[in-house]
Amino acid sequence: MLLLMAAFSWAGDVKHSSGDKQGEVSEIQAEKSLNDPGDNAWEEEGWEEEWEDSATIADPLEPLNRFFFHFNDKLYYWVLKPVARVYSGFFPEDLQIAIRNAFDNLRTPARAVSCLLQGRIRKSSEEVVRFALNSTVGIFGVGDFAKDVLGLYSSYEDLGQTFAFYGAGGGFYINWPFLGPSNFRDSLGMLGDAYLHPIILLDAEWGVIIGAWTFEKVNYTALTLGDYELFTETALDPYAAVKDAYQQYRNGLIENR
């Protein structure tokens, strides 16, 4: 008993003496019965012992999906990765980042529309400002001026998430050739988002569209070399692992923003 009391008084002392911010935060959280500002509302809700599994996703096309998974896997190792490696030799990382930003900037109109459809007026107008500034001051979007200077972050919204916002489930799993993992809902979303892409709005030829898409893909691969390998090589059934990762990733996006 005495030992316990000594322990408590000692622990109390340490907590009070650690004047740094983190110490204070943990103290507030430990004694949440005290004044609990709205900022700590999460204390009561959304706390689970573990991160739960996502619901099992229907996969009626599994044999076909597995075939295309294998196809994309070979495409990665035999074509995309070697090309991205050579590409990296010519384009330094800073340039790759600039190119990624420029392509990402072209998706801003679609993001603005999705925000609007979800009734997030403020976020939507931020996307409009981002597009206007980054396309001009940021020179065709190579620099993320809006984020770096004004602190306006991308919303990461898309039409698939908008459908989910209105209650649509993911539907069955689809592993597209070239495009990779998706589901029924997000595939429809992808199609809708594509119509709001400037390259489609400007009615470019198919050759240009495919060329641009390939360029973006190679650039992206160059920036993420090793990620795909690490994930699939530490999985026992890479197909099942990628399928689950896709679902968790999308659910996270839908819940978080």
Partner 1 sequence: MEMSKYFLQNKSALLLALVILSVLILNSGAFAAASMNPMEQLQQSVNEILKILQSEELKRPENNEERKQRILNVVNSMFDFRKMARSSLGQSWNTLTPEEKDTFVGLSTSLVEQRYIGKIDSYDNQKVVYKKERVKDGRAIIYTDIIDKDLEIPIDYRLMENQGKWLIYDLKIENVSLMANYRRDFDSIIRKEKFSGLVEKITELVEKPETSN
What is the contact surface with partner 1 in residues (CB under 8 A)?
2-3, 6-7, 10-11, 14, 18, 22-23, 25-26, 29-30, 42-43, 47, 49-54, 93, 96-97, 101, 144, 223, 225-227, 229-231, 233-237, 240-241, 243-245, 248-249, 251-253, 256
**Torsions phi, psi for 179 (to 5 deg):** -85, -25
Check residue 91 and report its DSSP letter: S
CB of 166 to partner 1, least distance (A): 21
Q: Closest CB to partner 1 among 20 and 203?
A: 20
CA 226-157-56 angle, to 5 degrees, is: 70
CB of 75 to partner 1, least distance (A): 16
CB of 65 to partner 1, least distance (A): 13
CB of 113 to partner 1, least distance (A): 23
Q: Closest CB to partner 1 among 58 and 204?
A: 58
Q: Closest CB to partner 1 among 144 and 193?
A: 144
For residues 105 and 144, give the distance between their C-alpha atoms in angstroms, rounded to a whole number. Answer: 9
Q: Closest CB to partner 1 among 52 and 205?
A: 52
In terms of C-beta distances under 8 Å and separation of at least 24 residues, what long-range contacts does 222-225 make, across chains too?
A: 222/84, 222/85, 222/87, 222/88, 222/91, 222/96, 223/93, 223/96, 223/97, 223/100, 225/81, 225/84, 225/85, 225/88
For residues 64 and 126, give the distance between their C-alpha atoms in angstroms, rounded to a whole number. Answer: 41
CB of 151 to partner 1, least distance (A): 13
Chain centroid, CA 88 distance in Å: 24
Decide if 170 contacts 247 (C-beta within 8 A).
yes
Cα radius of gyration rounded to whole Å, the chain: 23
For residues 202 and 142, give the distance between their C-alpha atoms in angstroms, rounded to a whole number. Answer: 20
Q: Closest CB to partner 1 among 15 and 120?
A: 15
Q: What is the enclosing helix (H) or strand (E) of 216?
A: helix 206-223
CB of 230 to partner 1, least distance (A): 4
CB of 245 to partner 1, least distance (A): 5
Q: Closest CB to partner 1 among 26 and 214?
A: 26
Q: Closest CB to partner 1 among 116 and 240?
A: 240
For residues 220 and 52, give the distance between their C-alpha atoms in angstroms, rounded to a whole number. Answer: 31
